[in-house]
Amino acid sequence: MNAVSPWLLSINAQLNNSDLEAVYDQEVLGYTFKVYLIGDSCWLVVAWPKGSRIAFRLAYSPNDKLQLKKVSGKDKKITFHISSLIGDYQSDLELPVGDHPVFRLTTTLKTSAPLLFPYWPRDIAPLGAAGSDFLAKGEIRISQVGNRSGLLYFNLSQPKAGSALYLQNLTALADYNQQTETSAGDTVGGEWPEIGFALPPTLKNKALEADKNYTLSDAYIALSDEVPADEPAMAKQYLDLLAAIYLQLPKPTTTYKHWPDILQKGLTDLNESPGCWNQVDGNHYLNAYVCDYATPPEIMVQLAVLLPLLDYVEWNDSQLAIMKKIKDGLPAFYDEKLGTIMRWHPKVADTMDAEEEHKKPLVMDSWYLNHPLLNLSRLALKGDQVAKKLFLDSLDYAIKVARHFNYTWPVFYKMDTLEVIKAETQPGKGGEKDVPGLYAHVMLQAWELTGEKRYLAEAEKAALKLRGLGFELFYQANNTAFSAGALLRLYKVTQKEVYKELSYLCLANLFKNVQLWDCNYGYGRNFPSFFALFPLNDAPYTAVYEEQEVFCAFHDYLKHAEGQDILPAARLLLAEYIRFVVERAVYYYPPMLPKDMLSDEVKTGEVDPNLWVALEDMHDGWEKSGEVGQEVYGAGNAFGILPRHYMQVEGQSFMIYTDYPTYGFSPKKHRPANFKLAGNGRLTSRVMLVKTGKEKMPEFAVTFKGSKETIKGKKTKEGHLEFTVAGDSEIHIDWK
């Protein structure tokens, strides 16, 4: 048993007092909800059907005696009006509605004086069985890291009761954070059994104003009477509980962003800005960052931009000279002696300053070999012969490396000797744990390209190395997302359930690393951040490149999931992440941001506030963004979004836009236009008929499949026609 504070022992003793009377008592779905006042705190005690209990603090005033003034409301929403020395509390309890035991606790305080909170206790106490002096035993599976979601996912093991997912809606705390100049990051967590949310302490002498209302907590809790028996059950339970809360969570309203214009601005600046380019041995290469001439060209950077450009030209039936410029330089990365592509351009690799351990000619970051191979394979499958040769000629080396490390990759290794340069991300944390899934994706591509079963066997060997990693599987977001898709493909090929389960584990790791709240304080008021995804487990910022690749990987996952029996929670969360990226991603471009929120110091290269090349990094609202640099290899942002969300109709003055992914769009010449939204019917998607020319748009008849009744839309000020429909709708659009 972990050591506990005297405060928690006292709380347990007081709430176990048989003479204590509840001021409120209700049973819903087999769970009992009782509210108690004990001295300086008001507690909601929730009991599982099997008897174990957990307490959630509703109100607190140190060394005070709270007074319950009134209980109002009825049915599923009850409000407790409580007076204290620090002000008047209003605590709302919204009981579960429907079949899922999800409830909400919201607490606001009207302050009686200017207040500073140098300390605030966490708000969850696992009590154990009624009348017992022993606190419940349990295990925390997930807690908040940095600015990620205010999550706490835990299992109660003794007495065996079940599991809970606690999510603090940190968006609601914006007034508190703004007034006190505090961050909502790292506020949900703790060590068992002292767990939950604690207000960030006010250490800057920034007091709450007197006689003003502040939301101090807005928590959603999903309960389950199941303790997962194994890793697959844990991943599925987490996704199910998260989706159940997500359906009830207040979500910011999105606005339409006109990506065709955004793309053209980005393409112009990518082509014309000298800071984006370098030249080696007669070929042009993209810099990793604007004006970063000290770092040699990297093959990952070239391909990370080239593949989204290919998506765009295939969608637009066009040609881009920039693509030939990039392609011409690719063969120079191949090393005949080692029989593989290299990370750094061999002609200038020895010019690096070697200040960082990976900036040495023969040092390879494990994912940096497999990621370019994946992109080369995509080019090869589209018929590019140069890419095919580079890909096939490098496969034996990639397999040699995989087998040498027994499909468990370190962080850095030496390419010629395979000597490990850096084994672990942190002591005891292991290497790049999601690379087996990325490698499996590469091998699946090789199998598809050649038909050779040895590549499929390699994919299976690597994929199974992901078992047992739990919520530590995630190393880098895009690699984990590619892994999820590869595992779903393996399941479809082999029909082995283990691969579908592992794909869910990858998704669970990804949705552990998102930000399900909007940072509406400080600089954060200038850009949306709801459902942003962090690139690494411990990254202090979100990053455009990883988000753009995850966005494309999620599209690919849903494509492979078409017609498959996949977890509804997974489909829901994937579609919603995509919907919010389509709005948020434009704010990575510095012209969309006030100049005063851009970092004064830049780690790599320069930041041009007028250039439509995305910043790598967006930070907490009290920190400036763009301190890492302006990320040229994130230039695929718009080129990934436009082809996936705009459907062209040949010879017409409009395009069809959706903010959800779609299935089955009919060819450009076919009418009526038909497609199905690839989301969940409990949520909605924006569908738009986007005006593309000066001429008048035709008259439209928009209907659902099987219905003759037209759907009513609304006209926007730009002349577009907008509809809101269920996330799994099948849409028919005709015009005259």
Query: Which amino acid is present at 688?
Result: M
Strand partners for 630 = 615
The DSSP call for residue 115 is: B
In a domain, 665, yes or no: yes
Radius of gyration from C-alpha coordinates of the chain: 27
The domain containing residue 225 runs over which residues? 6-248
Residue 502's pLDDT is 98
Answer with the one of 214, 248, 282 that is the final residue of a domain: 248
The rounded distance, in Å, linking the Cα atoms of 352 and 359 is 6
In a domain, 467, yes or no: no
Cβ proximity of 183 and 108 under 8 Å: no
In a domain, 613, yes or no: no
What Å distances lie between residue 159 and 222, 223, 519, 559, CA to CA? Answer: 19, 15, 38, 43
Q: Listing from the earlier edge strand, what are the strands of the sheet with 124-129?
A: 24-28, 31-38, 41-47, 52-60, 124-129, 194-197, 188-191
Largest CA distance in the chain: 86
**Which two tokens mark 521?**
């304080």
In a domain, 408, yes or no: no
- pLDDT, averaged in runs of 10, over the chain (736 residues): 83 92 96 96 94 94 97 93 98 94 98 96 92 87 98 91 96 98 98 96 92 98 96 98 98 97 97 97 97 96 98 94 97 98 96 84 96 98 97 98 98 98 95 98 98 98 98 98 98 98 98 98 98 97 98 98 96 98 98 98 97 98 98 96 95 95 83 93 97 91 93 95 97 94
What Å distances lie between residue 591 and 245, 256, 526, 529, 600, CA to CA? Answer: 35, 18, 12, 17, 16
* pLDDT tens, residue by residue, 284-299: 999 999 999 999 999 9
Q: 181 in helix, strand or coil? A: coil
Residue 1's pLDDT is 59
In a domain, 165, yes or no: yes
**Which two tokens mark 502?**
């592992």
**Which two tokens mark 355?**
């200040």
**Which residue's structure tokens are 């996330």?**
727
Residue 31's pLDDT is 95
**Which two tokens mark 279?**
């030249």
In a domain, 297, yes or no: no
The rounded distance, in Å, linking the Cα atoms of 713 and 367 is 46
Answer with the one of 217, 248, 279 that is the final residue of a domain: 248
The rounded distance, in Å, linking the Cα atoms of 39 and 63 is 8
H or E element: which one contains 637?
helix 636-645
The rounded distance, in Å, linking the Cα atoms of 318 and 314 is 7
Q: Is the bond preceding residue 410 a cis peptide, omega within 30 degrees?
A: no
**Which two tokens mark 315?**
């969608």
* Count: domains in the chain: 2
In a domain, 156, yes or no: yes
**Which residue's structure tokens are 């999550």?**
151
Residue 75's pLDDT is 82
Measure CA 519 to chain center: 15
Answer with the one of 188, 220, 248 that is the final residue of a domain: 248
Residue 666's pLDDT is 75
Cβ proximity of 679 and 661 under 8 Å: yes
Task: For residue 586, give the nearest of 541, 640, 515, 521 by alpha carbon.
Answer: 640
Residue 329's pLDDT is 98
In a domain, 716, yes or no: yes
